């Protein structure tokens, strides 16, 4: 007898007797968690086993492939440190990070959509005043960012904390340098009417680190390591759901191939170019540089939405 439920293309069918052996093992492993007193942990472990065993059986995973996977995960752990989180990169390029964001940030009325956190956020960014400059001396084209923070009923959210971080024009975040610089990141607070504005850098595309195990996967599968141009935001306010998101640059050719699948249509914004000589909105002396401006109005969902 054969069990055709485990056949695909030209792959040989699995004998029913073999399928029974495999199913018995899965049942035994699932049963081993029956005495777990934490219902959520039990659900997670049994769900993991169910899907993991189904994957192994579906692709008929070889022992050599299993060993290679263990070597890959070991290498991923070895390259991970306080500056580089290779496991986050792995989660990102598999779409697992983005799917987790989708599951945990369900659409609510007109609230701004969330997207991936990314591996380059760090605590202790400096505070800047409204109208301040987050670039911190990082190279790039000046970009004026402004907007208003609202709730889903159309009321402004005064005092919302807005944390922003981005790469410089060379595609590097400050933590990727070895000199301890703090640049391209800061936080500020919205004013009494929910308004905010600051100077940053015009976002540019850049590759995620691809000199490690994750890069090997991308190369082997013919995928690009490039991220679409973006600026990170994390917005918090009392009684509101924390928003982690980006804004993306309209017209960027990488919008449809962002390697971490972070782009959402509602987060694509126009970044309007201004040539040298056009006055800045706050009167800043741009020393003959051209500049860009964009607007990002943020809508926060209720905390328990």
The CATH architecture to which 90-300 belongs is Sandwich (2.60)
pLDDT by residue (tens digit) across 94-121? 999 999 999 999 999 999 999 999 888 8
Q: How confident is the model at residue 10 (pLDDT cuts 50, 70, 90)?
A: low
pTM as predicted: 0.88
What is the token pair recorded at 189?
A: 């607070």
Residue 254's contacts (CB-CB under 8 Å, 6 or more residues apart) are 205, 226, 227, 228, 229
Query: How many angstroms separate the CA atoms of 182 and 196, rounded?
Result: 22
pLDDT by residue (tens digit) across 234-254? 999 999 999 999 999 999 999
Q: Mark out the alpha helices in 10-152 (DSSP H runs).
A: 16-31, 39-59, 63-79, 86-93, 96-104
pLDDT by residue (tens digit) across 199-239? 999 999 999 999 999 999 999 999 999 999 999 999 999 99
> Do strands 195-201 and 206-207 pair parallel, antiparallel, or not at all (unpaired)?
unpaired
- In order of 144, 145, 165, 190, 218, the CA distances from 133 in angstroms are 9, 10, 12, 15, 35
In the chain, ranges of CATH 2.60.130.10 domains: 90-300
């Amino acid at each position: 007898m054969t069990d055709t439920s485990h056949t695909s293309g030209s792959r040989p069918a699995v004998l029913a007797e073999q399928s029974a052996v495999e199913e018995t093992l899965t049942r035994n492993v699932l049963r081993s968690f029956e005495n777990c007193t934490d219902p959520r942990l039990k659900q997670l472990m049994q769900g993991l086993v169910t899907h993991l065993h189904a994957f192994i059986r579906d692709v008929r995973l070889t022992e050599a492939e299993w060993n290679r996977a263990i070597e890959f995960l070991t290498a991923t752990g070895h390259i991970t440190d306080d500056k580089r989180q290779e496991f986050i990169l792995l989660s990102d390029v598999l779409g697992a990070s983005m799917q987790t964001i989708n599951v945990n940030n369900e659409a609510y009325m007109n609230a701004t959509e969330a997207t991936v956190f990314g591996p380059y956020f760090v605590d202790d960014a400096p505070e800047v005043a409204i109208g301040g400059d987050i670039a911190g001396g990082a190279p790039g084209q000046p970009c004026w960012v402004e907007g208003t923070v609202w709730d889903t009923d159309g009321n402004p959210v005064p005092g919302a904390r807005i944390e922003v971080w981005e790469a410089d024009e060379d595609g590097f975040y400050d933590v990727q340098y070895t000199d301890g610089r703090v640049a391209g990141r800061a936080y500020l607070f919205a004013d009494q009417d929910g308004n905010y504005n600051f100077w940053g850098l015009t976002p540019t595309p850049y590759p995620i680190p691809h000199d490690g195990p994750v890069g090997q996967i991308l190369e082997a599968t013919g995928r690009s390591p490039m991220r679409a141009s973006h600026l990170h935001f994390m917005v918090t306010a009392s009684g509101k759901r924390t928003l982690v998101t980006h804004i993306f640059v309209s017209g960027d050719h990488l919008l449809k191939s962002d390697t971490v699948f972070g782009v959402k249509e509602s987060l694509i914004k126009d970044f309007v170019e201004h040539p040298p000589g056009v006055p800045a909105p706050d009167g800043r002396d741009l020393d003959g540089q051209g500049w860009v401006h964009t607007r990002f109005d943020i809508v926060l969902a209720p905390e328990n939405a």
